[in-house]
């Protein structure tokens, strides 16, 4: 006879007896399975789709502030290139970050931190990454600056004031002059806080010539997730680059 055919009291008694037979270990087993599945899903999301970073410096102010949390898209760049104006997160191409020695941690604490970072629940590796805005794409001829202080890309000037943070009374996009052609599979990147950013301009003598190889890019920054008051999408300001022609 099915449960639906049993009297209501008898059906409840049957369920209670089944629960007692499972005992506490049945509950523990179910809990472990749920936790393992949650960790696996989190690991897959962090590895292939999205991951979180925090902002360790003021080089992207006021677009991104120190201690902001951001969500980075790692998936879509596999089928489309990064574009001018987009904010990317990347690992040090060589010589961009100062050599630092992290304070010693007890092995168990270090192990937990590494595990949480691996599954995307911690952002301990944010200090090993940089966040900048893409200005030059492969093949672009990027020059600073024209007579009114604007960067030109393939001969076309761009007006970046919509996102730049500059000292009062200053309008030049850079105090450092440069004239570069971006190589294949690389990008020329600058911080929005243009006078306080150690970006491509500061590493012209580095092994990669100030360019960021595509292989070093972790993903495209999409969203500010913390603090709550600053939650929102990150703008690529494509209108700034709309008049830039394709590289010759």
Q: Tell me the CA end-to-end span of the chain in Å, nearest whole number.
A: 80
Beta bridge partners of 69: 54, 226
HSE-CB of 243 using CA atoms within 13 angstroms: 9
Q: Is 114 an annotated catalytic residue?
A: no
CA distance 21 to 27: 11
Classify each residue of 67-102 as buried b or exposed e, where b means 16 or more C-beta atoms within 10 Å of its C-beta. Answer: ebbbbbbbeebeeeebebbbbbbbbebeebeeeeee
Annotated catalytic residue within 126, 132, 197, 200: 132
Q: Is 132 an annotated catalytic residue?
A: yes
Q: Six-digit token pair at 102?
A: 């992290």
Annotated catalytic residue within 46, 59, 174, 197: 59
Catalytic residues: 59, 132
């Amino acid at each position: 006879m099915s449960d639906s055919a049993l009297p209501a009291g008898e059906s409840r008694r049957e369920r209670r007896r089944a629960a007692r037979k499972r005992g506490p270990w049945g509950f523990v087993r179910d809990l472990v399975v749920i936790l393992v599945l949650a960790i696996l899903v989190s690991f897959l999301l962090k590895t292939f789709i999205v991951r979180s970073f925090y902002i360790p410096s003021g080089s992207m102010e006021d677009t991104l502030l120190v201690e902001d949390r951001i969500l980075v898209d790692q998936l879509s760049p596999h089928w489309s290139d990064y574009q001018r104006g987009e904010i990317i997160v990347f690992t040090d191409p060589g010589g961009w970050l100062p050599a630092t020695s992290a304070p010693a941690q007890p092995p168990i604490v270090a192990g937990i931190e590494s595990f949480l970072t691996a599954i995307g629940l911690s952002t301990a590796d944010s200090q090993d990454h940089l966040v900048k805005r893409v200005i030059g794409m492969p093949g672009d001829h990027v020059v600073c600056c024209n007579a009114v202080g604007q960067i030109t890309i393939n001969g076309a000037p761009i007006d970046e004031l919509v996102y730049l943070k500059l000292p009062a009374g200053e309008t030049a996009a850079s105090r450092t002059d440069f004239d570069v052609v971006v190589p294949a599979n690389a990008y020329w990147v600058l911080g929005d806080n243009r006078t306080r950013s150690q970006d491509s301009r500061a590493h012209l003598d580095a092994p990669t010539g100030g360019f960021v190889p595509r292989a070093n890019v972790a993903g495209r920054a999409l969203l500010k997730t913390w603090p709550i008051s600053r939650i929102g999408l990150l703008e690529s300001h494509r209108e700034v680059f709309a008049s830039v022609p394709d590289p010759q």
